[in-house]
């Protein structure tokens, strides 16, 4: 195992139920915050995956280059 192979986050293996619930609330809030911040990028990625021929660099012929 190399130093870069180590996990970034170490989660305790045994948590009391209240601590586990608090950790889950924190992670849910963190996930929601990240989803809100990156919504545009995530939405474009989802659209791209639904339309495999799509490229973010495609643009109509009438679209100016800048």
Q: What is the pLDDT of residues 4-63, one digit of tens each?
A: 666 667 777 788 999 989 989 999 999 999 989 999 888 888 888 887 665 655 655 555
Are 13 and 19 a contacting pair, CB within 8 Å? no
Report pLDDT for 66: 47
44 phi/psi in degrees, rounded to 5: -60, -40
Report d(CA 55, CA 26) in Å as an integer.
35
For residues 30 and 24, give the distance between their C-alpha atoms in angstroms, rounded to a whole number. 10
Contact call for residues 56 and 44 (beta carbons, < 8 A): yes
């Amino acid at each position: 195992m190399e130093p870069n192979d180590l996990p970034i986050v170490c989660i305790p293996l045994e948590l009391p139920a209240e601590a586990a619930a608090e950790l889950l609330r924190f992670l849910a809030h963190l996930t929601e915050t990240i989803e809100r911040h990156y919504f545009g990028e995530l939405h474009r990625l989802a659209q791209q995956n639904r339309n495999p021929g799509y490229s973010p660099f495609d643009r109509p012929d009438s679209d100016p280059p800048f």
